[in-house]
């Protein structure tokens, strides 16, 4: 399928008919893109896969475009553009620290993504450190700790159970040495908020540190490192309406300063000299630059800072209120379809962000997602969402049951070990979620209007 900007399309923000108590959606890039339907005609694309990658805020795109002609090397040039770019890069670090409400002395390290940030942290933990992580985590939080002792905790069914489970595990660790807890702020599968502040208190009470995976949290809620009392926080620009290839690891400096650089090379080194024996001595930076070797992605970093400013200026109170309005619409609509089962750890009343996963009786989830796209112009995600243990637990499957993220293992119409995820945020208009709810109802009651087949691991319309 092709996609193109509509020459005469009306801005979705202009026709927004949201509840008057809620603010209008923020302008995002691509809000007027139209896509063809397999049944004929075109429709404005409904991007409802924010949990994978959120569209760029128009403000972010405009800021990047305004800076692009002035692009220059960072920390390496005497010319005007290099000096300007260096200032932009370092000022972006300040902006991110303010957005996260970091403590004095905390470092903000720019990375490629949340995954990169947590892999960096995994490389700097002290020898003998034991890592505690719930099986409910995204693979970015679940997998980087392969060189350490790792204790995987079973999925809790209440926030209080999460805290109690962690407390028991930390108290029982043997030997009672350094420990690190890794936990999400909001699930990328269920959208449910985790009791981060309480988990941080439990970790510190037992002599452990904690890192917060805020990939799904920071785009939806204000984040305060100080208030939550976490030691580090990691997130990605591409989920924060700044999809230009950068991420952040922010927090305590000591482990970062005491370790070898994540990458060795220019920028991380402060001084390099030959020794008399022919070798090389290296003095590494003790600032964030220690783990930022190579030419930095100044455009990606600036885009994150721009997004932080845009969200702060828009006001998280109004953004959260609007998102709750959309969540209520989607959940109420799905509740009216008996064949739909929404996946949840903590129950219907748990606070959450705009991430909802579900399965439909009698449907292969990949088939259902394909029909949403081809027949309604709606983009969602299907699969195991890079959180295989959690989705398997929620679906009640055996760990050995076949199933793969994003690849249907069954023919269209047959049950499969995967789910459908709809996700939205600051740029989502009411019409998109209204169309989604209507599409779910029509597909369940009337069936798909088109035939589908599996091709290269994806369910696609049969032409």
Helix or strand or coil: residue 235? strand
Which H, E and C letters describe 97-152, residue by residue? HHHHCCCCCCEEEEECCHHHHHHHHHHHCCCCCEEEEECCCCHHHHCCCCCCEEEE
N-term to C-term CA, the chain: 12
Cα 113 to Cα 205, 225, 237: the distances in Å are 30, 19, 7
Host H or E run for residue 87: helix 80-100
**Host H or E run for residue 66:** helix 58-67
CA distances from 184 to 137, 241, 288 (A): 7, 19, 24
> ∠ at Cα 198 (195, 201), nearest 5°?
150
Q: What are phi and psi of 419, to 5 degrees?
A: -140, 180
d(CA 406, CA 135): 20
State the helix-helix crossing angle for 298-314 and 58-67, rounded to 10 degrees: 140
Q: Please, which residues bridge with residue 360 across strands?
A: 340
Name 247's Cβ contacts closer than 8 Å, sequence gap at least 6. Answer: 110, 111, 112, 113, 114, 115, 116, 117, 234, 235, 236, 237
Cβ atoms of residues 141 and 187 within 8 Å: no
Q: Phi first, then psi: what are they for 78, rounded to 5°?
A: -90, -15
Cα distances from 313 to residues 26, 307, 309, in angstroms, run: 11, 10, 6
**Structure-token pair, residue 132:** 């505690």
Asked if 386 is an active-site residue, the reply is yes
| Annotated catalytic residue, options 129, 308, 386, 459 | 386
11: left (phi over 0), alpha (psi -120 to 50) or beta: beta
Q: Would you say 270 and 284 are in contact if contact means Cβ atoms under 8 Å apart?
A: yes
Positions marked active-site: 386
């Amino acid at each position: 399928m092709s996609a193109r900007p509509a020459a005469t399309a009306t801005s979705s923000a202009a026709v927004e008919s949201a509840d008057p108590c809620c603010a209008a959606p923020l302008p995002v890039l691509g809000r007027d893109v139209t896509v063809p339907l397999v049944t004929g005609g075109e429709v404005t694309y409904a991007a409802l896969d924010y949990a994978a990658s959120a569209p760029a805020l128009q403000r972010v795109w405009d800021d990047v475009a305004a800076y692009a002609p002035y692009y220059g090397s960072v920390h390496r040039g005497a010319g005007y553009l290099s000096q300007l770019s260096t200032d932009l890069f370092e000022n972006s670090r300040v902006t991110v620290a303010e957005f996260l409400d970091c403590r004095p002395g905390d470092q903000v390290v720019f990375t490629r993504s949340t995954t990169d940030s947590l892999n960096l942290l995994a490389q700097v933990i002290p020898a003998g450190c034991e890592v505690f992580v719930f099986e409910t985590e995204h693979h970015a939080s679940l997998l980087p700790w392969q060189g350490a002792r790792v204790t995987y905790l079973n999925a809790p069914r209440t926030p209080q159970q999460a805290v109690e489970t962690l407390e028991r595990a930390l108290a029982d660790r043997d030997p009672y040495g350094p420990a690190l807890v890794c936990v999400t702020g909001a699930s990328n599968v269920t959208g449910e908020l985790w009791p981060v502040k309480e988990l941080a208190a439990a970790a510190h009470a037992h002599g452990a540190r904690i890192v917060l995976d805020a990939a799904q949290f920071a785009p939806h809620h204000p984040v305060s490192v100080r208030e939550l009392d976490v030691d580090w926080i990691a997130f990605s620009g591409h989920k924060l309406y700044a999809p230009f290839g950068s991420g952040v690891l922010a927090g305590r400096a000591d482990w970062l300063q005491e370790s070898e650089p994540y990458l060795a090379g220019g920028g991380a080194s402060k001084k390099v000299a030959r020794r008399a024996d022919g070798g090389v001595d290296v003095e590494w930076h003790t600032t964030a630059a220690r783990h930022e070797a190579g030419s930095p992605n100044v455009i990606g970093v600036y885009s994150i800072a721009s997004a932080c400013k845009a969200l702060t200026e828009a006001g998280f109170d109004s953004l959260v209120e609007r998102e709750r309005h959309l969540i209520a619409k989607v959940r109420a609509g799905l509740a009216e379809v008996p064949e739909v089962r929404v996946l949840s750890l903590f129950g219907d009343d748990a606070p959450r962000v705009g991430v909802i996963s579900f399965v439909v009786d009698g449907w292969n989830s990949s088939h259902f997602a394909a029909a949403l796209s081809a027949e309604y112009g709606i983009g969602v995600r299907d699969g195991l969402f890079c959180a295989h243990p959690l989705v398997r637990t929620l679906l009640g499957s055996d760990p050995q049951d076949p199933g793969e993220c994003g690849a249907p293992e069954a023919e269209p119409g047959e049950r499969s070990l995967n789910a459908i995820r709809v996700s939205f945020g600051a740029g989502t208009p009411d019409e998109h979620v209204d169309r989604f709810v209507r599409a779910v109802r029509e597909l369940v009651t009337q069936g798909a209007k088109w035939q589908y087949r599996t091709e290269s691991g994806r369910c696609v319309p049969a032409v």
